[in-house]
Amino acid sequence: MGALPAAGHRAGDSGSPAATLAQLKKVKKQKVLLMGKSGSGKSSMRSIIFSNYLARDTRRLGATIDIDLSHVKFLGNLTLNLWDCGGQEAFMENYLSQQRAHVFSNVGVLIYVFDIESRDVERDLATYVNIISALVQYSREAKVFVLIHKMDLIQPMTREDVFDHRAALVRRKTAEAVAIMHKQKPEQVQQQTVPSAAGEDLSINLQLFATSIWDQSLYKAWASIIHDLVPNLSVIEAQLASLGLAIDADEILLFERTSFLVVSKWTSREGERNPYGDRFERMSNILKSWKHTCSKYTGTPRNAEQFSDFEYKMGATFSMFATKFTTNTYILVCMPPGEARFNSAKLNVAAARPWFRFLDGPVVPAQSAVGGGMSSSQVLGSTPSGYGGEGSVGAPDG
C-alpha cells in the first residue's frame, strides 16, 4: 500500500498545487431557504440537527415569525446562511410579492417541508408551485430538497405507498412550476433529458425524502443536503479511501462534530455486503443520543464536546471505534476483529489527523495541504502482516 496522498491531490486533478491550496483556503457560503406551511415541522428539525434538541423538546417551540436568519458554521470552511421562513399565509404572500427578489436571489438550496397529515393538500401544492416559480426566476441553479414530514403518523404498512403517491404529486407540480416560467408544457419538462432548443436545461435538481423527528430518517435527509454543499468533497473522499485501505477497515464514517451528520464515508468491498442500507443515519442517531446522555449525566451543555473516544468490540464479529478526529469532526472506523489490528488502526487514525487539517478552516499550511509525502521512517510501529505495515499512515513531511 502506498502512502496517504497529499490533501490537495485527487485522481485526475490537473490543477497546480497553488490552485489546489487556494481552493482549500476558500470559505464557502451558501444561502439555504427552509420553507413550508406553518406547523409542518421546519423549526423542529432545524433545532434537532443544529441546536442539539431532543425530539420531545421541540414541543415547546413556537411558530416562526417572518424570517429567522441564522449563520451555521459547518466544518471550518462552510457557512450556511439558513433562512427559516415562517409559513403563515400572510408571510408567504409577502415572500412572493414585496420580498420576492430579496428572499429568492442567490439561493443555493431550497428545503421545502410538507406535512403529510395536512388537510389542505391542494393549497399546499399551489403555494409550493409559486415558491418554485420564484426560485426558478431568481436562482435557477439552486438545488431543491423536498421533505415529506411527520411520516411517523402514517401506518408502517402503508407508509411507502403514501410517500410514493405524494412524491409523484410533488414531481408533477415541480414540472408545472418550471413550465410556467419557461412557457413549456409540464410533460416536456418532466421528460426532458437534453437541453431545450434554446440551449437551456428546463429540469430542476430535485430530491425527495420521507422524514420524521422520531427516527433516523431526519439524519438521512439532512446528511444528503449537507453532502452536496461540502466544499472539497472529492479531496475528503480520496483521503478517507487511502486511510481505509491503509488500516484495513471495512467502513469509515466522517461526522460533523455538533450535528453528527455524515460528511463523507468510505466502504470497502467487504463492507458493501452489509445489508443495512440505513446504517449511516442510524449511527448518526446513536452517537447523537449518546452525546445527549453524556450531557445529562455530566451536567455540561449539549453543544459542548461530550466525549473523545467510544469503543465497541463484538467478539469475533467486528470491532469499531469513534473518536475525535479534527476540531470539527469525529471519525468512526468499523473493522474485522483482532486486538492488534484494532490498536494499530487507532494509532494510524491519530497519525493521519494532519492530512485532514483543511477540514478545520480555510487557513492551511502549504506543506501539509499540497505536496509533501511520507517516508518509511514515518510509518507507525510494526503490525501483523497484512494489517497496516507498509500501508500504515504517517504524518506529512514537515
Q: pLDDT at position 331, please?
A: 95
The rounded distance, in Å, linking the Cα atoms of 88 and 94 is 10
Q: pLDDT at position 4, please?
A: 54
Q: pLDDT at position 376, please?
A: 32
Residue 143 pairs with which residues in a beta bridge? 109
The rounded distance, in Å, linking the Cα atoms of 163 and 148 is 7
**60 CB-near residues (< 8 Å, 6+ apart):** none
Low-confidence ranges of the chain (pLDDT < 70): 1-27, 183-202, 302-306, 362-398
> How far is C-alpha 136 from the geometric centre of its chain's CA atoms?
24
- Find out whether 105 and 82 touch, Cβ atoms under 8 Å: no
Residue 249 region by backbone torsions, left for phi larger than 0, else alpha for psi between -120 and 50, else beta:
beta
The DSSP secondary-structure symbol of 5 reads: P
Q: pLDDT at position 43, please?
A: 87
- Find out whether 24 and 362 touch, Cβ atoms under 8 Å: yes
The two beta strands, 329-335 and 109-115, are unpaired
Residue 106 region by backbone torsions, left for phi larger than 0, else alpha for psi between -120 and 50, else beta:
left
Residue 312 CA: distances (Å) to CA of 12, 113, 278, 369: 38, 37, 19, 33
Q: pLDDT at position 186, please?
A: 54
Q: pLDDT at position 264, please?
A: 92
CA dihedral of 76, 81, 82, 83, whole degrees rounded to 10: 170
* Other Cβ atoms within 10 Å of 66 Cβ, number: 14
Q: pLDDT at position 379, please?
A: 38
Q: pLDDT at position 20, please?
A: 52
Residue 255 pairs with which residues in a beta bridge? 262, 330
- Find out whether 275 and 284 touch, Cβ atoms under 8 Å: no
CA dihedral of 42, 44, 45, 50, whole degrees rounded to 10: 120
Q: Which tens digits make up the pLDDT trace of 131-153?
A: 999 999 999 899 999 999 999 99
Q: pLDDT at position 75, please?
A: 79
pTM (two decimals): 0.78
Residue 32 pairs with which residues in a beta bridge? 82, 109
DSSP codes of every residue in 195-262: --TTS------EEEEE--TTSTHHHHHHHHHHHTT-TTHHHHHHHHHHHHHHTT-SEEEEEETTT--E
Q: pLDDT at position 29, please?
A: 84
